[in-house]
Amino acid sequence: MMEILIIKLVLAGIVFFGVLNFAGFHTWVERKQSALIQDRIGANRADILGFRLLGLFHSIADAIKMFTKEDIVPTGANKTLHTLAPLFSVFFALVAFAAIPFGPALDLPWLETPIQLQVANIDAALLYIFAMLSLGVYGVILGGFASRNNYAILGGLRATAQMISYEIALGLAVIGVIMVYGTMDLSVMVERQGHMFWGWIPRWGIVVQPVAFIIFLTAALAATKRAPFDLPEAESEIIGYFVEYSGMKFGMFFLTDFLETIMVACLATTLFLGGWQVPFLTADHVPNWLYVLLGVMSFSIKVVAFCFVFMQIRWTLPRFRYDQLMALGWKGLFPIAVLNVVVTAVVLVFIGYFFGGPTWLQK
Amino acid sequence: MAAKIKVVRRPELTFWEKLYIPQILCGLKITTTHFFRNLYLHIAHQLGRLKHLPASVTIQYPEELRPLMSRYRSRHRLTVRDDGTPRCVGCMLCETVCPAKCITIVPDEHPDPHVEKYPIRFDIDLGVCVYCGYCVEVCPEDAIRMDTGILDVAAYSRAEMQLDIHELMDPELRKPINDCSLQFPHQCKLSDGEMKGSWQTANGSPTASQTNSGTVS
Q: What's the ipTM? A: 0.86
Which backbone phi and psi does B145 adopt, to 5 degrees?
-135, 160
- For the segment A261-266, the average pLDDT, to the nearest whole number, is 93
Q: How many helices (H) and strands (E) does chain B have?
A: 7, 5
Q: What is the overall mean pLDDT for chain A?
A: 88
Residue A278 pLDDT grade (very low, low, confident, very high; cuts 50, 70, 90): confident
* Interface subset of A 285-314, CB within 8 angstroms of B: 312-313
- Does the beta-carbon distance from A36 to B42 stay under 8 Å? yes
Span of A1-10, A171-180, B16-25, B201-210 with lowest mean pLDDT: B201-210
Are the Cβ atoms of B56 and A40 closer than 8 angstroms?
Answer: yes
Q: How far is B29 from chain A (nearest CA, A)?
A: 9
Which pLDDT score, from 0 to 100, does residue A194 have? 82
pLDDT at B210: 37
pLDDT, residue A360, reads 54
Q: Is A196 on the interface with B (CB under 8 A)?
A: no
β partners of residue A197: A201
Chain A nearest-CA residue for B28: A316
Residues of A in contact with B60 (CB under 8 A): 41
Q: Each residue of A125-143: pLDDT tens digit?
A: 899 999 998 898 888 899 9
What torsion, rounded to 10 degrees, do the Cα atoms B90, B93, B99, B101 define? 20
Write the single-letter amino acid at A166: Y
Give the separation between CA B186 and CA B114, rounded to whole angstroms: 17
Cβ contacts (< 8 Å) between A317 and chain B: which residues?
Answer: 24, 27
Residue A7 or A198, more confident: A7
Return the bridge partners of A202, or none. Answer: A196
Contact between residue A59 and residue A27 where contact means Cβ atoms under 8 Å apart: yes
- Kind plus residue range of the DSSP H or E element containing B118: strand B117-125
Element (H, E) at A26: helix A2-37
Distance from CA of A235 to the nearest CA of B (A): 22
> Hey, are the CB atoms on A316 and B31 less than 8 Å from each other?
yes
Minimal Cα–Cα distance from A248 to chain B, Å?
Answer: 31
Instruction: Count residue pairs from A and B with Cβ separation < 8 A.
Output: 40
Residue A354, pLDDT > 90, answer no
- B19-54, pLDDT tens digit by residue? 888 888 999 999 999 999 999 999 999 898 888 888
**Chain B hits for A312, Cβ within 8 Å:** 28, 31-32, 35
Please determine, for residue A318, whether its predicted confidence score (pLDDT) is greater than 50.
Answer: yes
Look up residue A151 and give its amino acid.
Y
Chain A: give the shortest CA distance to residue B55, in Å. 7
> CB-CB: which of B24, B34, B57 is closest to A37?
B34
- Please check whether residue A54 touches B, CB under 8 A: no
Task: Give the gap in angstroms from C-alpha B83 to the nearest C-alpha of chain A.
Answer: 45
Per the CB < 8 Å rule, is B38 touching A36? yes
Q: Do A40 and B58 touch (CB under 8 A)?
A: yes
Q: A35 CB near a chain B CB, below 8 Å?
A: yes
Q: Flag whether pLDDT at A46 surpasses 90.
A: no
pLDDT at B53: 87
Higher pLDDT pick, A338 / B50: A338
> Is 60 exceeded by the pLDDT of residue A230?
yes
Collect all residues of chain B within an 8 Å Cβ-Cβ radius of residue A33. Answer: 35
Among residues A321, A306, A273, A263, the alpha carbon closest in space to that of A133 is found at A263
- Provide the shortest C-alpha distance from residue A306 to chain B (in Å): 14
Across residues A25-46, what is the average pLDDT? 90
pLDDT value at residue A243: 87
Nearest-CA residue of chain A relative to B39? Answer: A36
Q: Which of A20-24, A101-105, A193-197 has the least mean pLDDT?
A: A193-197
8 Å CB contact between A148 and A329: no
Which residues in chain B show pLDDT less than 50?
196-217
More confident residue, A29 or A199: A29
For A141-166, how does the pLDDT look when each residue is reduced to its tens digit (9 = 90+)?
999 889 888 888 888 898 899 988 99
Instruction: Please give the average per-residue pLDDT across A290-309, as a whole number.
Output: 93
Strand partners, A48: A51
User: Which positions in chain B touch A37 (Cβ < 8 Å)?
Assistant: 31, 34-35, 38
Q: Is the pLDDT of residue A67 over 60?
A: yes
